Amino acid sequence: MNIAKPTVLSVALFLLPLVSPSFAQNTQPKNAEPSTVKANHAAAAHLPANDGIEEQEAHRGFIATLPDSAIKAAKAGSFANALGEYGFLDPVDAPDTVNPALWHHARVNTASGLFKVTDRIYQVRGFDISTMTIIEGDTGLIVIDPMTVTEAAKAGLDLYYQHRPHKPVLAVIYSHSHLDHFGGVKGVVTEADVAAGKVHIYAPKGFMDAVVNENVLVGNAMMRRAAFQFGPLLPRDAKGQVDAGLGKGGVSGNSSLIPPTDTIEKPTETRTIDGVQIVFVNTPDTEAPAEMIMYYPQFRTLNMAELVTHNLHNLLPLRGTQVRDANAWAKDINYALAEFGPNTDILISQHQWPTWGTARIDTILRKQRDLYKFINDQTIRLINQGYKPDEIAEVLKQPASLSGEWSTREFYGTVSHDAKAVYQRVLGWYDGNPANLNPLPPIETGKKTVEYMGGSQSILARAHKDFADGQYRWVVQVLNQLVFAEPDNQQARELEADALEQLGYQAESATWRNAYLEAAQELRGKTPGVNQWQINTDLIATMPLDAFFDFMGVRLNGPRAEGKTIVINWHFTDTNQDYVLNLEDSALTYLSNRTSSHADATITLTRSTLNAIALQQTTFRDEVIAGRVTIDGDIGKLAEFNSLLDTFTPDFPVVTPLPQLSSKTH
């Protein structure tokens, strides 16, 4: 049966609900407690010597920055990045509310604008958490990693053109598959020029698969957790967000994606692009599933992408992703050191500032190599001695030869959570103790703990004393259980928030600080709301249909689907692709290049129409009316299928119970 009239199917069937949280502001942060003041003063006594080299290198080659210290966003009156928000970092001495090592790093990270690295190599830094590198070819420009959003990338290129000849961009290189290294591409080139062959885009092997896998299936949860890692919603001051470790972060605007035209497939490939020879080295499963470093022989410059930055990196970021391979990471740095190190005068990355001088570069590469090898091998050594993840995280410390260097400090990743990541990669989540094999979930655990400890008032009395004694880790640990047992216990929420805040003030890691302070906000009632985010049009358009239907399976509500069987054929006329979706046993599976003669319904449309519906540029109903979508079969089954799909929004609580769980009677 051909249906050429409006249907009862809602657009939710096709939407990828990509949204970002916003928070109401209603509580002011508190001062540092005496224990925090003492801890930060003690930390200041054990900092590496400050010879000023990092500050000099961060500002070396400075040409200019934006006169108004802000990147204007597409929306009138708003800013993609307000570069002047960090003026509070001017004093050399750290306030009591910031770890002194992090304060030092945050101050160095304030350098922003256009910088000359060497003849024909320039960088735009501080406009985004990532760095955009510009290489001048014989006739045009090669842009490496055009930042997160088009507004920042365009502002950076415009600034470059104000001070350098106006050559066209002939090539773009994506060093790896994270959004902050490709999202601004349409701020520097057009899709039309790429399609016409005027611009080539280079990327490492596996780039597109890695982009889709990271940004779609768990994108909603990752977005919520990223707010804790980067602190974009925290105030920019000495009691809020001072840094994001790799840079300042907090950029907003429109992300984009143009698929690569050229892929670096071999482990090592040498290409000449507009007269510039580039040695590409694939480094998969290190900082990203698809990543590559580059060496520019004629400039004696090594670009380590994100494998070497001025801090310890994450083996498993707090936002969540696949665990990274520390051993492979160390090996790839070691290869670069041996292969390119002796002939390198300048070391750059796609975050932060360069390093000059062969001897200094040799030291940094060796320290970074040894940092990841140390964490990997020593974690596994302790595993083989019977240590559990939390025990390893507590006892494993950097040797003095590493912790005594600014470039290996824990400003982004930490030894603690990197060691747990190694454990997870080699053994998984289970620590081998059957007591942890099937423990009670948080709410039930909290209720039994409160009962065993004599009730909430007894716990609060002891927690106040421990708070006064500076035992903030324990206060958070025990009050977290009380909050899960009694979500409306305001005294417990406020005291846990106070303890989290003090942990944030003491943290050397910017990501730990941001997470602690963000959690304190949630406990104090700054509950997340949801604003519609600009859906990444390019990601939807380039997403393989397999990934689209995989995500549809993730959205299937298993309990509601129990006992139901539905089969749907999909035919895409423009790509000549067929898919059959099968709902059975509360699981949604599919086959490509097939149809089912037993399908309940068949949907015929173009892929471009599907993209437009997903992006809310039109509706399924309107496309049926216009004749661009036809349905043959049982429309009731389609409506039933649609009713089984969840819609995700990143407004769920993280440090308090989910409402649907806390409302249950146990």
Model confidence pLDDT, tens digit, residues 550-572: 989 999 999 999 999 999 999 99
Bigger pLDDT: 665 or 281?
281
In a domain, 412, yes or no: no
> Tell me: the pLDDT tens digits for 55-78?
999 999 999 998 866 777 655 445
- According to the model, what pLDDT value does residue 5 have? 31
> Tell me: the pLDDT tens digits for 127-156?
999 999 999 999 999 999 999 999 999 999
* Range name among 32-41, 92-101, 206-215, 392-401 with the lowest pLDDT average: 206-215
Q: In sequence order, which residues have a C-beta less than 8 Å from that of residue 10 and are 6 or more positions away? A: 620, 642
Domain boundary among 336, 353, 375: 375
Quick one: DSSP state of residue 352?
S
- According to the model, what pLDDT value does residue 313 have? 97
- Tell me, yes or no, whether 59 and 188 share the same domain: yes
In a domain, 175, yes or no: yes
DSSP codes, 58-84: HHTTEEE--TTSEEEPSSTT-EEEEGG
Average pLDDT over residues 532-541: 64
- Tell me, yes or no, whether 297 and 223 share the same domain: yes
**3: confidence class by pLDDT, cuts 50, 70, 90:** very low
**12: confidence class by pLDDT, cuts 50, 70, 90:** very low
In a domain, 198, yes or no: yes
Range of the domain at 627: 2-17+535-642
Nearest Cα neighbor of 21 from 252, 236, 298 is: 252
Quick one: DSSP state of residue 291?
B
HEC sequence for 592-625:
ECCCCCCCCEEEEECHHHHHHHHCCCCCHHHHHH
**13: confidence class by pLDDT, cuts 50, 70, 90:** very low
Average pLDDT over residues 441-465: 96
Q: Which long-range contacts (CB under 8 A, 24 or more apart) does 444-452 make?
A: 444/666, 445/481, 445/484, 446/480, 446/481, 446/482, 446/483, 446/484, 446/485, 446/486, 447/485, 447/666, 449/478, 449/481, 449/482, 449/485, 450/481, 450/482, 450/485, 450/486
Average pLDDT over residues 259-267: 98
- According to the model, what pLDDT value does residue 665 have? 42
Which CATH number goes with the domain that contains 113?
A: 3.60.15.30
- According to the model, what pLDDT value does residue 81 have? 67
Task: Say what percent of the chain tops pLDDT 70.
Answer: 91
Residue with tokens 């900092």, as numbered in its chain: 47
- According to the model, what pLDDT value does residue 102 have? 98
Whole-angstrom distance, CA of residue 265 vs CA of residue 243: 36
Which phi and psi angles does 77 have, rounded to 5°? 80, 0
- Tell me, yes or no, whether 179 and 65 share the same domain: yes
Q: Say if residue 533's pLDDT is above 60.
A: no
- According to the model, what pLDDT value does residue 21 have? 39
Beta-ladder partners of 79:
72
Average predicted confidence (pLDDT) for the chain: 91
In a domain, 462, yes or no: no
- Tell me, yes or no, whether 98 and 9 share the same domain: no
Length of the chain in terms of residues written: 666
In a domain, 650, yes or no: no
In a domain, 340, yes or no: yes
Number of domains in the chain: 2
* Range name among 246-250, 309-313, 365-369, 528-532 with the lowest pLDDT average: 528-532
Average pLDDT over residues 344-358: 98
Residue with tokens 């507009």, as numbered in its chain: 274
Beta-ladder partners of 591:
580
- According to the model, what pLDDT value does residue 536 have? 67
Average pLDDT over residues 507-516: 98
The SS3 call for residue 3 is strand
- Tell me, yes or no, whether 9 and 63 share the same domain: no
Nearest Cα neighbor of 220 from 455, 10, 512, 16 is: 16
Average pLDDT over residues 578-603: 96
- Tell me, yes or no, whether 6 and 62 share the same domain: no
Average pLDDT over residues 314-325: 95
> Tell me: the pLDDT tens digits for 270-294?
999 999 999 999 999 999 999 999 9
| Count of alpha carbons within 13 angstroms of residue 44, beta-carbon side | 17
- Tell me, yes or no, whether 97 and 11 share the same domain: no
- According to the model, what pLDDT value does residue 75 have? 55
Domain boundary among 335, 356, 375: 375
- Tell me, yes or no, whether 9 and 93 share the same domain: no
- Tell me, yes or no, whether 85 and 12 share the same domain: no
Q: Say if residue 528's pLDDT is above 70.
A: no
In a domain, 44, yes or no: no
In a domain, 622, yes or no: yes
Q: Please, what's the largest Cα pairwise distance for the chain?
A: 79
- Tell me, yes or no, whether 70 and 9 share the same domain: no
Average pLDDT over residues 417-430: 97
Domain boundary among 356, 375, 394: 375
- According to the model, what pLDDT value does residue 78 have? 52
- Tell me, yes or no, whether 8 and 57 share the same domain: no
**Residue 262: both structure tokens together:** 């050229």
Whole-angstrom distance, CA of residue 168 vs CA of residue 160: 12
- Tell me, yes or no, whether 120 and 9 share the same domain: no
- According to the model, what pLDDT value does residue 6 have? 29
Which CATH number goes with the domain that contains 6?
A: 3.30.1050.10
- According to the model, what pLDDT value does residue 73 have? 65
Q: Say if residue 158's pLDDT is above 90.
A: yes
